Amino acid sequence: MTYCAKCGARLKEEDEFCYACGTRVPKITREEFTVSAENLIEKVKELIHEGNVTRIIVKDEKDKVLLEIPVTIGAIGVVVAPWLAALGVIAALVTNCRIVVERRE
């Protein structure tokens, strides 16, 4: 689900402009990675440091969402620490994960 950055209105995936305020909706692309539990935390750290990631979704083998991490430009250090702790628990429970990465163009 996408929301307008200016007014917060709920938008459809195909919307180019917000129906409420007229703000242009940035195009979001998705990438998927399959990683083992041992490499999960390292891969997420790598993606966060790339800088153009807006959201990271961790799913299990059955496509169930295990964790959704909203990533902002200033999301480093203390802000990311609780998410990485949660990833450690997830890595202990599953063998393989899929990471869905949303990037704003």
Q: Is residue 55 in a domain?
A: yes
Using a cut of 0.85, tell me whether the model's pTM lies above it: no
Tokens of 4: 């307008």
pLDDT tens for 50-64 read 777 888 888 988 888
Q: Is residue 8 in a domain?
A: no
Greater model confidence, 82 or 62: 62
The residue segments making up the domain with residue 58 are 27-104
Q: Is residue 10 in a domain?
A: no
* pLDDT at residue 32 in the model: 93
Q: Is residue 94 in a domain?
A: yes
Count of structural domains within the chain: 1
The answer to whether residue 76 scores a pLDDT higher than 70 is no
Tokens of 98: 């899929």
Integer Cα distance of 77 and 79 in angstroms: 6
